[in-house]
A and B are shown apart, each in its own frame.
Chain A
C-alpha cells in the first residue's frame, strides 16, 4: 500500500569531483587527521577515562620526547621507508608484491649468516661489502622467483609472494635453532658483540646515521629511476596497460623480471641494514611486519618516493607514540593499535572526499505537491 513512500528523491547522491586544487585536497587530509584525533580522543575517554589531551601529549613524548627517541624514530622510519621503496617499482607495474617481508628477511638472514660463518675467514674489511652483496643477491632471488613464474606462466603473484614469506620465515627459524647460542636456547643473540665485525660504523658518534643516510640516498635514486629513466617509463607503461606495452614492442616478461630483481634487491638492502645497522642478530621476526606496513606507506604516497618520507613518518610516529601510551598510562597495548587504526582509517577515507562530493536532497517547495500526487497507489 505504501509504495508511494518510495517515490522521493534519494537523501543524497554521490558526484565525482573535477579534481581539486592541491591546497584544498591537503586541507581535506589535514581535516581528516584532526577528525581522527578528535574521534580517537572521544573513544579513549569513553574506554579509559583518561584525558585525551594527556594521551596525545604522551604520544608526542613517546615519539620525539628525547634525543634518543628522535634517533630511534628516524631509524625506524628509515627501515620502513627502505622496504617501501623496494615495493614501489613493483606496485607501479601493478605487480602486487606482498612478499617484501620474506625478501627482506632472507636478505637479513644472508647478512647474519655471513657474520656467523665468515668472521675470521675473510678479512674484516671485506665483511660489510660481502654481507651487503649477499643480502642483495638473496633478496633479489626471493623476488625474482615469483616474477619468473608470473612472466612465463601467468601465476598469481599475490599468492606466490605471500607464500614465499612463509618459506623465508621457516628457513630462518630452522637455522636460528641449529645456530643458537647457547645451543638449545632457540636464539642467536648478538653476533660479534665484542669485535663489532660486520657492524655498520658509527658516524659522528651516531649508531644509526649510516643506515639513515643510505636510505635517504636510495629514496632519491628510486625517485629518479622511476621518473626519469627509460626503465621507469617502461614500468609505468606495463603497469598502466600491458596491451600498450605489447603494441610499442616492450618485452613485458623482461620488464617484470627486471623490476622484481630490483624490488627484491632493495628488500635485501633493508634486511642488511636491519642486521648490520641495528639488530646485529637474526630472528624470524626481524622485519617485524614492515613488509606489509610498507604497502600502506607506498599506496598512501601514491607511489611517489619523496612523499613516502612523509607517510612513513606518520606511521612510525603513530606506532612509537601509541606504544608509549600503552606503557606510560598502563593501558593494554591493543589500545594503541586501536588509535593507529582509527587515524589510518580516516586518512584513507579522506581520499574518497577528495575524489567525490556528496550532494544532499534539496528541500523544494514542490515536495508538498509531490506528496499529494503520490497519494495515489503505484501499481507494481
Chain B
C-alpha cells in the first residue's frame, strides 16, 4: 500500500539547533494522524517542510509512493497538500469568499458568485457553518479558522495539515472542528494534526506519531495507548502529573478591582464593568478565549492601561492602608510600596529584552537603585547566578542574551526575577505557554510556593484542565465582561466553556436582531 505521504530520514538544522533529526513518518488516506510532542520538539518544522516553507537538509519525501521535492508552498499545493497555520493569514477587510480565492490564478474570470457557490458547496459537504459574504474582521477566531480550512479545500487539497488548531478554540468549538475533520477523513482525505493536548489525540486520531527533542520516537495506534504511555513517549521518562493544591491559609483582601472599564485605541471597550477581589494565599485563575480582555485586565492593575472608569484598590498588608492604583504609572505604584510582580504574556517583547544578557535583564526592575548615574551590576549578577542555579536554567553563562535561551529557560528567568522581589501580588499571563511538561510543572510549583507564602496570585491560563487543578477560584471572562466566578474544586470544564462563550452568544443574538 502506498501512503499519502511518507517521510524518510528527514533532518533539518538551524545553526547548531537540530530541529528534526532523522524523522520518519507515514500517513494514509482516510486516516487522521496526530503528531504529538512538546513545544520545541520539531513538529511545526517538520510540517513546514511538507508544506514547502522550509527545505530539508537531508531525507526524502514520498507522495503516493513517488519521491518528490517540495521547494515552495506552490510545489506543495501542486501535490494537493494544504496547511492551516497556527497564525491565520487572512485579509481583514475582505469577505470569506474573497479571502478564499485570493491569489488563485487559474480561475479564468474573476467570478465571485461562482466562487461563493463553490464555498457553500464545500461547507455543506463537510458540515462547516460559514457565511461566505461575512468580512473577516467581523468573525470569531473559530470562523476565521473555518475560512482557512475551506481555503485549502477550495484549492483541491486532499492532504491537510493543521498546526495546533484547537489552541484558540473553546471546548465546544473544538468538538465541532473534530466532527468536520472526521467527515473529511471518511471522504478519503489524509489529515495530520499537530497538538500537545493528550485527550484530543485520544479522542480524534487513528494513529499517533511522537516526536521528542527533534527525534522520532515512534508511532502507535490510538486504540492501543493511553495518556500515561503517550506522556512517557513525549518526555522520554515517567512524569507525575499532579499539582499539590493546599487550602488557602488565612485569606485577606489584597486587591480589589471595582467597576473597571477600559477602551483600546479604537475606542472599543476591552473591559466592561469588571469587578472582583483577589485574596492573599490563593491562586485566582482567569479563563477565557484569547483576546477577551485578559491582557487589558492585568495591564490595568500593573499601571500600563488607562482606565476610563473604575478603581483598583490595594490593601497593604504592612500598613493596613488602602491605596487606589487607578491611572498610576508603574513607578508611582512601586513608590507607594506596592510589591506587584507581573509576568506578561509577551516574554521577550515586554517582560525581558531579548538582546540583553541575563544580568542586564535582572536589572530591568532594579537598575535605578543607587545614587550615582552609573549602573550597579554586582547585585543583578548575583541574582542572575542564583536564579540559574535554583531554577536550573540551561544557559552557557549569565552573559548569554536571553533570546538565545529556549522558551522554558526564558520563562524561568522572567518568573525568577519577578518572584525575587518578594511580591505581595503576583500576576502571570499564560506562564506555561510554549513550555515543555517539566518546565510547566516547575512554574506551577513556583506559583504554588508563592501562594503558600501568602501572595495573592492571579493566573491567566488557557488550558482548562490545568486551571481546574491549580487554582482555588476561577474567574471567567468573555468579551471584556466577567461572565462567572467558579470554585475550581467543584467546577467542570464544560461549565467554564459555556461561561467563556456567554457574552459572545448574547452579542450574536443582538446582531441578528439588528439585521
Residues of chain A at the chain B interface (Cβ within 8 Å): 6-10, 13, 15-19, 228-234, 236-237, 240-241, 243-244, 246-249, 251, 359, 370, 373, 376, 378, 380
Contact = CB atoms under 8 A, between A and B. Distances in A.
Given A244-B351, A249-B303, 11 more contacts: A18-B15, A18-B17, A228-B374, A234-B367, A237-B356, A237-B364, A241-B353, A243-B350, A247-B330, A370-B67, A378-B78
B374 A247 contact: no
A58 B36 CA distance: 67
A380 B344 CA distance: 47
A17 B15 CA distance: 5
A8 B355 contact: no
Interface of B: 13-17, 55, 57, 66-69, 71, 75, 78, 302-304, 329-331, 334, 342, 344, 346, 348-356, 360, 363-365, 367-368, 373-375
A15 B14 CA distance: 7
A113 to B, nearest CB: 33
Contacts of B78: 378, 380
Contacts of B303: 249
A251 B331 CA distance: 9
A7 B356 contact: no
A350 B257 CA distance: 56
B346 A248 contact: no
Contacts, number: 90
A237 B330 CA distance: 16
A370 B41 CA distance: 31
Contacts of B367: 230, 233-234
B353 A236 contact: yes
B348 to A, nearest CB: 8
Nearest to B334: A249
Given A229-B375, A230-B367, A380-B78, A10 B350 contact: no
26 contacts: A7-B68, A9-B69, A15-B13, A18-B16, A228-B374, A229-B373, A229-B375, A233-B375, A236-B353, A237-B353, A237-B356, A241-B348, A241-B350, A241-B353, A243-B350, A244-B349, A244-B350, A244-B353, A247-B302, A247-B342, A247-B344, A247-B350, A249-B329, A249-B334, A373-B67, A376-B66
B349 A230 contact: no
Contact of A233 (B57, B71, B350, B360): B360
B330 to A, nearest CB: 3
Contacts of A237: 353, 356, 364
Contact of B57 (A232, A243, A246, A359): A359
Given A13-B55, A249-B330, A378-B78, A240 B374 contact: no
Nearest to B361: A244
A306 to B, nearest CB: 18
A248 B373 contact: no
Contact of A249 (B13, B66, B331, B354): B331
Contacts of A19: 15
Contacts of B57: 15, 359
Contacts of B346: 243
B330 A240 contact: no
A230 B355 CA distance: 17
Contacts of B356: 236-237, 240
Nearest to A18: B15
Given A237-B353, A247-B350, A230 B375 contact: yes
B353 A231 contact: no
B254 to A, nearest CB: 21
Given A237-B364, A244-B352, A373 B66 contact: yes
A8 B72 CA distance: 12
Contacts of A233: 360, 363, 367, 375
A373 B356 CA distance: 52
A292 to B, nearest CB: 26
A7 B69 contact: yes
Contacts of B330: 246-249
B374 A248 contact: no
Contacts of A9: 55, 69, 71
B220 to A, nearest CB: 31
Nearest to B329: A249
A243 B349 contact: yes
A230 B374 CA distance: 5
A246 B302 CA distance: 10
Contact of A241 (B66, B331, B349, B374): B349
A18 B348 CA distance: 20
Contact of B15 (A16, A249, A376, A378): A16
Contact of B375 (A13, A16, A228): A228
Given A6-B75, A241-B353, A243-B350, A16 B344 contact: no
B194 to A, nearest CB: 23
